[in-house]
Structure formats: C-alpha cells, structure tokens
Structure 1
Amino acid sequence: MEISVRPVRADDAAAYVRLRRKVTPYRVTTEAAVRHGWRSEPDVAALLVLVAEARGEIVGIGQASQDTWTSDRGAASGLVMVDPERRGAGVGGALYGAILDHLRASGADRLRGWAVDDAESVRWCERRGLTHTRDLRFSRLDLVDIDALPEAPPLPAGAALASWAEVEPTAVHQVEAAATADEPNEVAVDAMPYDEWLTEIWEAPETDLDASTVAVVDGTVVSYALVEADRSTHRIWSGGAGTLREYRGRGLAKAVKSAALRRAAAAGITTAYTSNDEANRPMLEVNTWLGYRPCGTELLYGGRL
C-alpha cells in the first residue's frame, strides 16, 4: 500500500472525527472541537498535525505538540491513530517518524502519549522503546433515566451551585488551575495561562456553559465541573472537575458533577463519558458513586527523544 503523508487541512476534521470514533469510541469528539483545537494552540506549542493517505483516503492521523501548561519544559505529547483495517502497512511508523523529527527540531526532549490497551498497540509502542507508566480508565454513564442518579449530597452552609454562564471565567480558571495542578500526571499541569485557557476551554465550541457547574461558597468559586457536549450524538464528556484543597471532603465534587449531569440530561443528552488516572482514587470513587462504569482503558507510554 503506497502511503503519502501531508499536513492537515481544516476540511480534514471530518475524517479525523470518523477515525477517532472508530479507534476510541469512548471519547467524545466533534468536527468543530477538532478545528478549534488546531486553531487555538499557541505558537510556542509548535503543534504539528499530519494525515496519512492511501489512494486518496485518510487512513491515519499524527499529532504532536510541546506541553505548555507546565513549568517542566521540554515535555511533549503525541498521538498516532491508524484505521484498524490498515494496520501493519507502515502508516503508524511513517507518522511517528515525522513527529519525532518535528519535536526534536522544536526543542522537545521527551514524548508521551496514550495507547489503546490491546496487544498490537502495546507491541507497537514497545518496539519503539517507549515505556508504560500509567493507566487511564474510561467510564460511561447512561442518562436516559436521570432519576437513577443518586441523590446529591446536601451542600455545606454558605454554599450554592451555579452554571458557568452565571459566573466570571476568571473565577473558574483560578479553581481549575489550582485543582488540575494536584492531579496525578507524568508532567505537572502547574502553569495554566488565563488567556490560553479562555480560548482553549471557555470559548471552545463544545464547552456547555449552561451544563458546566460550579460551587460557590461565601461568594467564591471553590469547585467546578466542565461539560463538553456533542449534541449530534447526544453525548457529553467530562472535561474536568476539581475542588480547592481547603474545601475538599465536603461533598462539593459530588454536588457539582451531579448537577452538571442533570442539567445535561435535561437538555437532551443521553450518555456521559469520562476518564480518570487509576491513581486518582478520590475522583474514581465520586464517578463510581454517580453510576459510571468502566468502558475502556488506555496506557500511557513515553520516552526520551
């Protein structure tokens, strides 16, 4: 099979989404979200997106960029997706080689990426000297019967819930930046610039400002849950949730996530998906309490460039 690799174009977003849904059906992806992601990456990230074609058909996607929301410079993230029916023909290898060349030229010294948990993907990573370090659990929740959700815990004194649409983005950013820095990760997400977050998260077409929820205590936003919606398939993705350290242990994560799910269901969403690092036991317990059940696993592989 003759393969050609070229830079991505905006009109390739539809093929990207089709391939993404085929390879990882438990992820929620839309064409608008994909195009927005390509446009909104800052120049310092040195984003590269490539497509592999065979007889005019896109059979693989490669993507890589330097991690910018961290003080740990030199770290980079990569993605190689190949149509399962076209594996073994050198598509992934061609994309991976181009990604490595680009990242080295941009100054990155480490690469990491998530691999589907199957024998073929594991062998592919190991042949390239990559090392498995973490597991990511994907979970699914049926929202058709919203009454099946557990009753939300009572809010502590002085606390109230609000949608993102009812608060200032600066307040949500402060909580997300602080909470995300505490999440288990190979590369700490401890430097989240407000202007980049505003463009990439708040203004993203998939961000549902009405379903996304915060908890406010004495006028301060202290907990958040982000909802990313694909209304064409009636599905949502939990784009993140967290609580400021000094307010943890009061049931606020349960409250904001429960409210966000109920708001999404009321707007016609029927299925919710999320993911958690297996080391993030507190959030896994919250999602299990909500009724999420495992539906997939990905493995983090990485190595030096």
Structure 2
Amino acid sequence: MTATLRPAESYADAVAFTDLRTLVTPYQVYTPERIHHIWQVTPAHAYAQKLVAEVDGQIVAAGRASFNTWTSEEGVASLTVMVHPDHRRRGIGAQLHRELTDHLLGHGARKIEAWGEDETDVPGFAERRGYERTFELRYSKLDLTDLAALPPIPDVAPGVTAVAFSAVEPEAVFAVDAASVVDEPGNSAADALDYEEWRTGVWDSPSIDKEASTLVLVDGVPAAYTNVEVDRRTRRMWSNGTGVLREHRGKGLAKLAKAVAVRRAAERGVTAAYTSNDEVNKPMLAVNTWLGYQYAATQYSYLRTVNPA
C-alpha cells in the first residue's frame, strides 16, 4: 500500500503526531503543544523534516528526521518513524523511512540514529537498512498517587539547598545542563550545546513545570538539576534530564533533586512519572530504583554509519 506523504506543520498535525506517539510508545510523555513548539524552534541548520502519511485522508503514520545540533561531530542525525498498529506491514513505514533518509543523506548525514523496541519487525527492518544495534535504554514508571509511599527527602550536607526553576535564572540551569550532558552515554557527545537554542527549546518549552523542576545549589552555586515536563491532560510527567557537575558527583545531589521534583509534581496533581536511562548509567538507575520507579519498557539505539562517497 502506498500512502500519501506530506509535510507536518500545523497544530492539528502536532495533535495527530502526539496521539500516534502515545499509542506506539505509551511510556513517553509528549503534548501537542510541546511537539508543535519543537517544530517551530528547531534551528534551520538542523534541516528538520516532519512528515505524516495519510490513507483515505487519515493520518496513519508519521516521521521526523533532523541533524543533531548539540554535538560538534559533523553529520550526526536522527530519524523516527511511527506507524499505527492497524496499518503496519503495508510498506508505509518503509516509504517514510526512505523519504526521510534521502533527506538526511542529501544534507550530508554521516551517522543516522533511530530507536525502537525489540519487537519482531524492528531489528529486521533496521538491519536490512544498514543499522547496527548500539545502546539499550530502559524506560521506567513511578506511581505518584500515594505520597506516603515515596521515600523521604534525603538529608543534605550544610550549604546544600534545592530550589525550583521558577526561583532562578535560566543561565543557572544551563550551566549545569551543558556541563553534565557531555558525559551522558550515547553514539555522539553532546558537547556543543548553544545557550539560545537550549533556552528556546528547553527553558521555553510549554510543557516544562518550573515549580517541580529543581536546581540544587551548593553554597549558593548551581551543582545539579532535574527538569520536569508535564502533560496536564493525562496528569503524567517526564524527567527531561538530570545532571550533576563532575566535582559534585557521589554526594547524593541527583537523588535530592529527583526526590524533591517528583514530590512537587505529585503535589501539583501529577499521578505518574516516567523517565529513561541508558543501561550503563548505573548511578542514575540506582537513584530511580530508590525512588520506587518500576520497569516499563526497553528501547534500543540503532546506528547507521554512512561511508563518504
């Protein structure tokens, strides 16, 4: 079956995109406002392409491709394809993938990363197109309906305080995020984070909860953070990044930041928290286990390396 592909631009397209993502990956948390915001603020040099696939006027699949602007490595790109379960194995995913791949290759992609669950179709689909499995990502869920079930806020050393994002300037959070994200596991280092891009894409996100999002200060200096995004419709939150400066690791600051953040989110009506962590990131997995997170799903990174002509 051949679907009609067209660019995704409108808010209505963002709604369809979000609905499809929620159906395919219910352990991720996105809102139409967040998706549409990403589309609007993605920088031009990311060469982003967003497509939806229609059959009889109905959106049955969607995809997005763009270059990674947070790394100094040239030609690093990512690609996502989602197909409604009722319309799989009809060639629609392959059609979307081909169009998005051609777009990336046309702009000089050297590495293309995609993510997928270990379903029967995913590994074969990826391998036939030159991808190799690299990283394993664990998704976890925390029930926030019973505050009493959460562990107590950990004791802190003198001079350590936890404050909401709403009480600080964005530069304070950026300083920790930009320094700590470099060490996150991945196929390419996030070593070129631009402040203005970060501010429009992260700080100005319509889904960010700046009361639940938490910055940890040591003697008044930013040292750790956790960023919370919330879908008020479903009362779910997403941990959109947690980081600690190298010189402050091993002091329980990530545990403090996350413990404060999930409690604040629960007090503001959130009933479930979701997060993801690379399986090699044992310290953060230990923090999540302590908080009470339970396994939700596993995705794998698939990487295609393009040989230069």
Q: Percent identity among equivalent residues?
A: 47
* Equivalent-residue separation in structure 2 for 1:184 and 1:5 (angstroms): 34
Q: How does 1:127-206 map to 2 (within 5 A)?
A: 127-206=128-207
Distance in 2, matches of 1:70 and 1:36, equals: 21
Which residue of structure 1 lines up, in the alignment, with residue 30 of structure 2?
A: 29
Most deviating of 102-111 and 44-53 = 102-111
CA distance in 1, matches of 2:172, 2:15: 34
* Distance (whole Å) between structure 2 residues aligned to residue 13 and residue 87 of structure 1: 21
How many residue pairs are counted as aligned between the two chains?
Answer: 305
Question: Aligned with 1:246: secondary structure?
Answer: helix
Which consecutive residues of structure 2, in runs of 5 or more, have no partner in the other structure? none
Residue of structure 1 in register with 2:100 after alignment:
99
Task: Name the counterpart of 1:275.
Answer: 276
Residue 126 of structure 2 corresponds to 125
After superposition, give the CA deviation of every residue in 1:26-65 in whole Å (9 maximum; x if it has no partner). Answer: 0001000000010110001000001111111111111100
What amino acid does structure 1 have at the position aligned with 2:123?
V
* Partner residue in 1 for 2:59: 58
The alpha-carbon deviation at position 195 of structure 1 amounts to 0.3
Partner AA of 1:8 in structure 2: A
CA distance in 2, matches of 1:44, 1:216: 35
Q: Deviations over 1:231-286 (max 9, x none)?
A: 10000000010110111111111101000000000000000000000111110010
Q: Which residue of 2 aligns with 1:40?
A: 41
**C-alpha deviations, 1:11-31, integer Å up to 9, x for none?**
211111111011000000100
Alpha-carbon shift at residue 104 of structure 1 (Å): 1.2
Which residue of structure 2 lines up, in the alignment, with residue 235 of structure 1?
A: 236
> Residue by residue, what CA displacement relative to the aligned partner does 1:137-182 show, whole Å, maximum 9, x if unpaired?
0000000001111112211111111000001100100101111101
Counterpart Cα distance in 1 of 2:114 and 2:142:
25
Aligned residues of 1:67 and 1:77 also touching (Cα < 8 A): yes
Look up the equivalent residue of 1:264 and give its one-letter code.
A
Q: CA deviation at 1:9?
A: 2.5
- Residue type of the alignment partner of 1:41: T
Q: Please list every run of 5 or more consecutive structure 1 residues that lacks an aligned counterpart in the other structure.
A: none
Moved runs in structure 1, 4+ residues, more than 3 A? none
Given the two structures, how large is their TM-score scaled by the length of structure 2? 0.97
Distance in 2 (alpha carbons) for counterparts of 1:142 and 1:86? 32
Aligned to 2:303: 302
SS in 2 for 1:181: helix
The one-letter code sitting in structure 1 at the alignment partner of 2:234 is T
8 Å contact 1:2–1:55 — kept in the other structure?
A: no
